[in-house]
Structure 1
Amino acid sequence: MELVIFLAVLAVLGIVGTGATVWLLYRSRVDGKRVENAKEEASSVIALAEDEKRRILLEAQEEVLKLRNAGENEIKEQRQELNRLERRYLQREEQLEQKNETLEKQRIALTEKESEVDKAVEEVNELKVQQIQALEDTAGLSVEEARELVVREGEEKARHELSRRTYDLEREYKLTAEENARRIITLAINRLATDVVSETTTSIVSLPNDEMKGRLIGREGRNIRALESMTGVDIVIDDTPEIVTLSCFDPVRREVARLALERLVSDGRIQPARIEDMVNRAQVDIEQTIWKAGEQSTFDVGLSGIDPELIRLLGQLKYRFSYGENVLKHSIEVCLLSGMMASEIGANIQVSKIGGLLHDVGKALTHEVAGPHAEIGAELAKKYGINHNSYLSILEHHDDDHSTIESFIVASADAISAARPGARKESLDQYVKRLRDLEDTAIGFGGVDKAFAIQAGREVRVMVKPTDIDDIGSAALARDIARKVEEDLVFPGQIKVTVIRETRNVEVAR
């Protein structure tokens, strides 16, 4: 059994060995074919590489040859250019040497000529000094004196020519401007038909008899003290028969006191309780009168949209007077004049009329607020929404410079209204002083012989010495006097300055 197994194992081993041998033989044959194929492919690749190598080497040799030829050509061209530049530089060097030689010769010649010129200049200077000395000896003047004389004569001629030209231009422009201004102002004044305001404030209350004074004073002065404390007005009772004087800076309070006092006198019952009742009634009546006056003024001038507070302040101007002129009527007149002049020259009519109506509204508060009435009125206008141009018209209506044409129109209308005959009153002392100051200002100029203020101070006529001032100088003197009057004096409206130069030759026939 074991032998059988052993033989079986040997048989199996033999079969396996035979299969392995066969497989190895087959594998070696297959691998040999692959190796041969690989060798053939390698030989082909090597052959191709050799061909490519030869091609690249040939191309490289050709490129090297081209570069060498190009380099040789470039070097050759550079050598030729260098040779050309070298020849050119040599030629320039030769030319420069020749120029240097020429310049040196010219320098030597110029040096010689310069010496000759210096000698000639010295001789000329000596001759000039001799001639100047001879001229000074002949004329009796030095060079500086002669130069100053010539300059002075030139200045005098230029000043005379300038004054003459200025005189001609001023005369021409004044004629044109005066004609236009006269036409516009005359037309505006003719269109405005208003009465001359001549009423003045009165602080006097008439009494039926002198016994009423005692009743007004009351026991131990209680009635008069009550009336003064309630109205804020000083009541003056003196020896003047049947008259009581009221004194107060506030025209509205003074009017309230006047109305209450007249009603008390008419009623006859004078006691503190009755006084208080009458004062309260008078205040209500005056307030209504003020409001109606303000509204009526806006209706009269055709303006609307003004703040009620400004209307009330306008109404207060009914009791405010300036130089005897009622301020409310004056404001209405200025408003109408401003509107008419604005329509004539093409300015804004609404702005001009508002500025004219409110230009003196600040006078309603001058007894309460410190400052010029123009500034007070402008602040009120700004506070209550008045347009900016009208605000400027109110602020600048007493200034010499104006920001807008409407401002200038309002100032002109204000001057026209105030300057009308009878519009304002002035004390005799102030009037005489104003005329004297005007004459003294004119006499203070050199060459003036006499000066006379005429037409109530609206014109000054100046008589000059004909030997000291000529016709052209007269025109310059008139301008200087007008400028001096504007700077030093305060006056309403405008002042005309007339300079008169007169020469008289008198002979007597015998």
Structure 2
Amino acid sequence: MIYLVAFLALVCGVLAYLLVQKPKVVTEVREVEVVKEITRDVVREVERLVPAESRVWLDEDVEVRDRLLTAMESSAMRVAVEASTTTLALESPDLKGRIIGREGRNLKSFEQTTGVELVIDDAENMVTLSSFDPYRREIALLTLKALIKDGKIQPSKIEEAHQSAQKQVENSMFQAGEGAARKLDLSLPKPVLQTLGKLKFRTSFAQNVLDHSVETALFAAKIAEELGLDHVQAKRAALLHDIGKAVDAEGAHALTGMEFLADQGESELVLNAVGAHHHDIEPASPEARVVIIADILSASRPGARREAHDNYLQRLQAIESIANAEPGVERSFAVQAGRELRILIKADEATDEDMKKIVQRIGEKLRQSSDHQGQISITAIRESRFSETIKL
């Protein structure tokens, strides 16, 4: 039965796509005729692939198809395509000059501290924050808002506001994880909620990973309930299936997620379902197979994902990873859609003479690893600071 449902789930994805694309693909065929035609194909494939002794016979209405489509229709989340820019409206045009600062000092300090490019153009009463990393961009936005509210925009204040914004975002991630669990009527440990909330700032093929996880859980619960399975466990496993993407560990995210959840005392059924959702291990229960199906349904729903956007993010992340791996580099930021790489050098580990060699080595590694043509401007920054409190 489960194999049949998996097969029908894939067919339903194609069916939904055809109906959505009707003006382009099915211009001369009525929807009911399309449904019947695909239904007949399903029945033929079932007769060909499923052994007779375990075959579930279906009429042309295909009850399973209807149930899956009902689950998709009732549970579909808003499709949010993540942009790489955020705009902030300003109350007064005079704020632009204060944000830039004398000789651009404030602007340089802001971009260096946050790793986000601040675009200040001729657009009236508006600035744009640009970064491929939504987490980094959110912190920069809160930093800028705090500076404007405080009225004192200067390098020392920028660093203070940035640290405060980081704490705010950490709190918002916990609230996001808590909200997702509450929506699904699930109880999760605090470490799991915090890690789950990090998915709010992760995307996969432009699909928000936390939204995808909640949608997958809704699909899994509905399908498991229709099949008479443990829908609570299926829902729990589906919500947590991508949590490994927020765990700081190497390896396949399904397995790192499974290991993280094992430390938090999750049940064997949930652990197996999480680890098996990309077939890194074999699914050991019907609920695990339901999670696989629900994950496919959410990911393949028309408009849910955009591969080009994800490839773009991966390319920028790869550029930063190459720079960060170089000895003497504190951190790096890829900006201008990957056309510029800004590197912060550890002042206590590298001299000014070393900076040129570091840039040359990083440039050579980028040339060897990149499949893209064009050029990248690499800027290295080495800064020494000394502060002392004087008692008067």
Output the TM-score relative to the length of structure 2.
0.57
How far did 1:373 drift? 2.2
Q: Secondary structure at the match of 1:403?
A: coil
In structure 2, C-alpha distance between the alignment counterparts of 1:274 and 1:296, rounded to whole Å: 33
Work out whether 1:421 is the aligned partner of 2:302: yes
In structure 1, C-alpha distance between the alignment counterparts of 2:158 and 2:249, rounded to whole Å: 29
For residues 127-165 of structure 1, what are the alpha-carbon distances to aligned partners after superposition, in whole Å with 9 as ceiling and x for unaligned? Answer: xxxxxxxxxxxxxxxxxxxxxxxxxxxxxxxxxxxxxx9
For residues 331-387 of structure 1, what are the alpha-carbon distances to aligned partners after superposition, in whole Å with 9 as ceiling and x for unaligned? Answer: 11111211121122122223211110111112224xx43333222222211121111
- For 1:378, the aligned partner's letter is M
In structure 1, which of residues 246, 263, 266 is the aligned counterpart of residue 130 of structure 2?
A: 246
In structure 1, C-alpha distance between the alignment counterparts of 2:254 and 2:141, rounded to whole Å: 29
Q: Which residue of 2 is the match for residue 407 of structure 1?
A: 288
1:223-302 pair list within 5 angstroms: 223-231=106-114, 233-237=115-119, 241=123, 242-247=126-131, 249=133, 251-265=134-148, 267-302=150-185
In structure 1, which of residues 296, 300, 303 is the aligned counterpart of residue 186 of structure 2?
A: 303
Q: Which residue of 2 is the match for residue 374 of structure 1?
A: 254
Work out whether 1:325 is the aligned partner of 2:199: no
Q: Which residue of 2 is the match for residue 216 of structure 1?
A: 99
Across the two proteins, how many residue pairs are aligned to each other? 260
The question of whether the paired residues in 2 share the 8 Å contact of 1:246 and 1:258 is answered with: no
Q: Which residue of 1 is the match for residue 271 of structure 2?
A: 391
Q: Which residue of 2 is the match for residue 337 of structure 1?
A: 219
Q: Which residue of 2 is the match for residue 348 of structure 1?
A: 230
Name the CA shift for 1:276/1:284 in 2 (closer, same or farther; >3 Å). Answer: same
The question of whether the paired residues in 1 share the 8 Å contact of 2:116 and 2:136 is answered with: no
- For 2:288, the aligned partner's letter is S
Q: Which residue of 1 is the match for residue 316 of structure 2?
A: none
Name the CA shift for 1:166/1:326 in 2 (closer, same or farther; >3 Å). Answer: closer
Consecutive unaligned residues in structure 2, runs of 5 or more:
1-43, 312-392
- Structure number, greater radius of gyration: 1
Consecutive unaligned residues in structure 1, runs of 5 or more:
1-164, 431-510
In structure 2, C-alpha distance between the alignment counterparts of 1:355 and 1:333, rounded to whole Å: 12
1:16-415 pair list within 5 angstroms: 169-170=48-49, 173=55, 176=58, 179=62, 181-190=64-73, 192-206=74-88, 208=90, 215-219=98-102, 222-231=105-114, 233-237=115-119, 241=123, 242-247=126-131, 249=133, 251-265=134-148, 267-304=150-187, 306-365=188-247, 368-399=248-279, 402-415=283-296
In structure 2, C-alpha distance between the alignment counterparts of 1:411 and 1:358, rounded to whole Å: 12
How far did 1:299 drift? 0.9
In structure 1, C-alpha distance between the alignment counterparts of 2:256 and 2:244, rounded to whole Å: 5
Q: Which residue of 1 is the match for residue 28 of structure 2?
A: none
Greater relative CO, 1 or 2 (CA 8 Å, sep 6+): 2
The question of whether the paired residues in 2 share the 8 Å contact of 1:203 and 1:258 is answered with: no
The question of whether the paired residues in 1 share the 8 Å contact of 2:299 and 2:305 is answered with: yes
The question of whether the paired residues in 2 share the 8 Å contact of 1:362 and 1:373 is answered with: yes
- For 2:205, the aligned partner's letter is Y
How far did 1:272 drift? 2.1
In structure 2, C-alpha distance between the alignment counterparts of 1:369 and 1:185, rounded to whole Å: 35
In structure 2, C-alpha distance between the alignment counterparts of 1:424 and 1:371, rounded to whole Å: 23
Q: Secondary structure at the match of 2:198?
A: helix
In structure 1, C-alpha distance between the alignment counterparts of 2:46 and 2:304, rounded to whole Å: 35
Name the CA shift for 1:177/1:224 in 2 (closer, same or farther; >3 Å). Answer: farther
In structure 1, C-alpha distance between the alignment counterparts of 2:75 and 2:180, rounded to whole Å: 16
The question of whether the paired residues in 2 share the 8 Å contact of 1:205 and 1:262 is answered with: no
Select the structure that is richer in helix: 1
Q: Secondary structure at the match of 2:284?
A: coil
How far did 1:288 drift? 2.3
In structure 1, C-alpha distance between the alignment counterparts of 2:116 and 2:70, rounded to whole Å: 47
Aligned CA RMSD, in angstroms, stands at 3.5
- For 1:349, the aligned partner's letter is H
Q: Secondary structure at the match of 2:277?
A: coil
Q: Secondary structure at the match of 1:371?
A: coil
In structure 2, C-alpha distance between the alignment counterparts of 1:371 and 1:238, rounded to whole Å: 40
For residues 289-343 of structure 1, what are the alpha-carbon distances to aligned partners after superposition, in whole Å with 9 as ceiling and x for unaligned? Answer: 2221111111110111x22111011112222222222211211111121112112
How far did 1:224 drift? 3.9
Name the CA shift for 1:230/1:168 in 2 (closer, same or farther; >3 Å). Answer: closer
How far did 1:266 drift? 5.1
In structure 2, C-alpha distance between the alignment counterparts of 1:369 and 1:184, rounded to whole Å: 38
Q: Secondary structure at the match of 1:270?
A: coil
How far did 1:267 drift? 4.7
In structure 2, C-alpha distance between the alignment counterparts of 1:300 and 1:167, rounded to whole Å: 36
In structure 2, C-alpha distance between the alignment counterparts of 1:412 and 1:166, rounded to whole Å: 18
Output the TM-score relative to the length of structure 1.
0.45
